[in-house]
Amino acid sequence: METNSTTDASVIGKIWNKRPLIISGPCSAETEEQVIQTALQLKETGKVDILRAGIWKPRTRPGNFEGIGAKGLPWMQQARKLTGLPLAVEVATAKQVEDALHFDIDVLWIGARTTVNPFSVQELANALRGVNVPVFIKNPVNADLELWIGAMERVAKAGVDKLGLIHRGFSSYGNTEFRNAPMWHLAIEMKRRYPGVPFLIDPSHICGNRHMLQEVTQNAIDLDYDGAIIESHIDPDNAWSDAKQQVTPQRLKELLDDIVWRKETI
Ligand code: PEP
Ligand code: MN
């Protein structure tokens, strides 16, 4: 086991260009034990490049678990120390960027509920100025490509040179088979506009369940996506957020083993 307490920039550089690029970990960091056990089991699969966990959770309705907050960041650091896996966290405010960087989080992502708001994206871009940390930008919750492009432009203008995109689907009214409709054509248009930018599928938030994850991930790989961010948890049924869509690290391994990768992605 590696004992890195931070990740070398060259390691991140290599991962950035690795195909498929796989990010996994719990929707939310809940306890130190849960973060570390999930990380150890993910490392064991040999399939995961970056460990994700939500520290601050943007919940649609109040009264749900809103994230453990900055106290979870040292747990992630400990997980990196034990596994060598670089860390990714969602940020929505300048203070969260500051806290995440204080704990040497390697990769940040902007969530769907933040991409919709140019004020918030600009605040994040300002906080990222002069900090060379890779950033993934999820599509906005609504099917508006301009907002997604605008977020890319704002963060790029702040001098962030490693920018990636995550397709997590678009919300729609009423019951559909998806939690968030993929609207593949919109994502493909975005992918076409940014050639060479890592483009990941987030089947977890598209599906909202476990049984469609495989199919949605396979579809994305067939469309030449560069990888996936998939939620995993040591005890998915008892997860504090997004319990229905998370899978165990072992199940994640099986899912990835069953994907037919494009030759160029291996
Ligand atoms: C998440 O990744 O846990 C998350 C909150 O995602 P999204 O912004 O896609 O809803
Ligand atoms: Mn989630």
pLDDT of 135-158, one tens digit each?
Answer: 999 999 999 999 999 999 999 999
Residue minimizing CA distance to atom 1 of ligand 1:
27
Burial 61-100 (b: 16+ CB within 10 A, else e): eeeeeebbebebbebbbebbbbbbbbbbbbbbeeebbebb
Residue minimizing CA distance to atom 2 of ligand 1:
27
All domains of the chain, ordered by start, with CATH?
Answer: 9-265 (3.20.20.70)
Atom of ligand 1 nearest to the CA of 114: 8
Helix, coil or strand: residue 80:
helix
pLDDT digits (tens, 9 = 90+) for 21-74: 999 999 999 999 999 999 999 999 999 999 999 999 998 889 989 999 999 999
Atom of ligand 1 nearest to the CA of 52: 2
Ligand 1 pocket, residue 88 CB under 6 Å: no
**Confidence at 264, pLDDT banded by 50, 70, 90:** low
Which one-letter DSSP state was computed for residue 3? -
Measure 234 CA to ligand 1 centroid, in angstroms: 19
Ligand 1 pocket, residue 249 CB under 6 Å: no
Which of 124, 168, 241, 245 gets mutated to test ligand 1 (max ligand atoms within 8 A of its CB)? 168
Q: Alpha-carbon distance 117 to 96, whole Å?
A: 16
Ligand 1 pocket, residue 239 CB under 6 Å: no
- C-alpha dist (Å) from residue 243 to 56, 93, 138, 233, 238: 17, 26, 21, 9, 6
**Confidence at 6, pLDDT banded by 50, 70, 90:** confident
Which of 52, 91, 113, 167 gets mutated to test ligand 1 (max ligand atoms within 8 A of its CB)? 113
Indicate whether 18 pLDDT > 80: yes
Indicate whether 196 pLDDT > 80: yes
Indicate whether 4 pLDDT > 70: no
What mean pLDDT comes out for the span 71-97?
Answer: 98
Give the ligand whose atoms come closest to the C-alpha of residue 59.
Answer: 1
pLDDT at residue 1, rounded to an integer: 47
**Confidence at 9, pLDDT banded by 50, 70, 90:** confident
Measure 142 CA to ligand 1 centroid, in angstroms: 13
Ligand 1 pocket, residue 27 CB under 6 Å: yes
Indicate whether 184 pLDDT > 90: yes
In which residue are the tokens 């943007």 written? 58
| Residues 217 and 232 sit within 8 Å (Cβ to Cβ) | no
Query: 9-13, 44-48, 194-198: which has the minimum mean pLDDT?
Result: 9-13
Ligand 1 pocket, residue 233 CB under 6 Å: no
What mean pLDDT comes out for the span 194-206?
Answer: 98
Q: What is the DSSP string of 114-128?
A: HHT-HHHHHHHHHHH
Q: Which residues pair with 245 in a beta bridge?
A: none
Name the token pair of 153: 């432009």
pLDDT digits (tens, 9 = 90+) for 220-236: 999 999 999 999 999 99
- Could you tell me which of 62, 34, 39, 36 has the C-alpha nearest to residue 49? 39
Residue minimizing CA distance to atom 6 of ligand 1:
111
Ligand 1 pocket, residue 54 CB under 6 Å: yes
